[in-house]
Amino acid sequence: METVTDAPPSAATLLLRRINQTVPLTPEELPVVRDFGWDIRAVRRRQPIITEGTKNHSIFLILDGFFIRYRILRDGQRQIIALAVPGDFAGVPSSFFHDALYSIRALTDATVAMVPLDRVIGLFETHPRLAAKVFWAFTCSAAIYAEHLIVVGRRAAHERVAHFLLELLTRLKPLGLADENSFELPLSQEVIGDALGLSLAYVNRVLRRLFDDGLVVIKDQKVVIRDVEELTVLADFEQNYLQPLPISAFAPAAGW
């Protein structure tokens, strides 16, 4: 992971755009966020930014690229806990612990903006409303974990795969990284299996079946969902959990 000394001119713009997708900012907050002391870094495919068991007390805003957060078990199996996309914060809540609970590594070449956790905490004193929005976003992401637990705990393999793909489609659309029924992302079948608690071989069979049924095509790192409606029914996919209310819905005063 290397510091980008000549940050491309768009870096600050991209940063504000990305954070705005997760944490909607007021005009006054823009300069605060921009000049927050982010350390912008390029990350190569497969490179870890956090490693389980090591100290890490920074959080990472993903500007570009995709990451997986995962744990390697005793027997070498891997469980992927989350697939992180641009606008997501990586390192939450891992950096809140003495040593990182999971590893996080890039699925593609990527760019992140790193900031020490204590700087974020400092916002509570200097810009409490901004701190509120950030921690609101942190808390809402728990809903995604919970949904994954439901999917992995109680759904059959083909439902899990369908749900997984639809969630990604839904999350990527507002980022401009997916159109109505497709997105680009190097999703190996191993990654899908490790995210869903399935074996690689079985994921392959399930995808084969979804392909034969004309529902999904995955080719050249592009996922095309050929029948979103039918797949949605198959997966029993409800997207409410991806749409928290904004904190402003509960803010006591105007102007949040």
Partner whose binding site includes residue 244, from a second copy, DNA, none (CB under 5 to 8 Å by kind) = a second copy
Q: How many residues does the chain have?
A: 256
Query: Which residues, numbered 203-222, are part of the site for a second copy (CB under 8 A)?
Result: none
Instruction: Work out which of 3, 10, 13, 145 binds a second copy, going by CB under 8 A.
Output: 145
Site for DNA in 115-174 (CB under 7 A): 156-158
7/157 with CB nearer DNA = 157
Of these partners, DNA, a second copy, none, which one is at the site of residue 102 (CB under 5 to 8 Å by kind)?
a second copy
Q: Which does 136 bind (CB under 5 to 8 A by kind): a second copy, DNA, none?
A: a second copy
8 Å CB contact between 152 and 163: no
Q: Does 57 bind a second copy (CB under 8 A)?
A: yes
Among residues 42, 36, 45, the alpha carbon closest in space to that of 3 is found at 42
CB of 140 or CB of 228, closer to a second copy: 140
In the numeric block, which tokens belong to residue 195? 């995210």
Give whichever of 75 and 125 is closer to DNA, judged by the CB atom: 75
152 binds a second copy (CB under 8 A): yes
Q: Please answer whether residues 190 and 181 qualify as being in contact, where contact means their C-beta atoms are separated by less than 8 angstroms.
A: no
Q: Is residue 175 near a second copy by the rule CB under 8 A?
A: no
For a second copy, the closer CB: 37 or 153: 153
Binding track, positions 70-109, relative to DNA; x by CB under 7 A: ----------------------------------------
Binding footprint of a second copy on the chain (CB under 8 A): 57, 71, 73-74, 77-79, 81-82, 92-94, 96-99, 101-102, 117-118, 121-122, 124-125, 128-129, 131-132, 135-136, 138-143, 145-150, 152-155, 196-197, 236, 240-241, 243-245, 247, 250-253
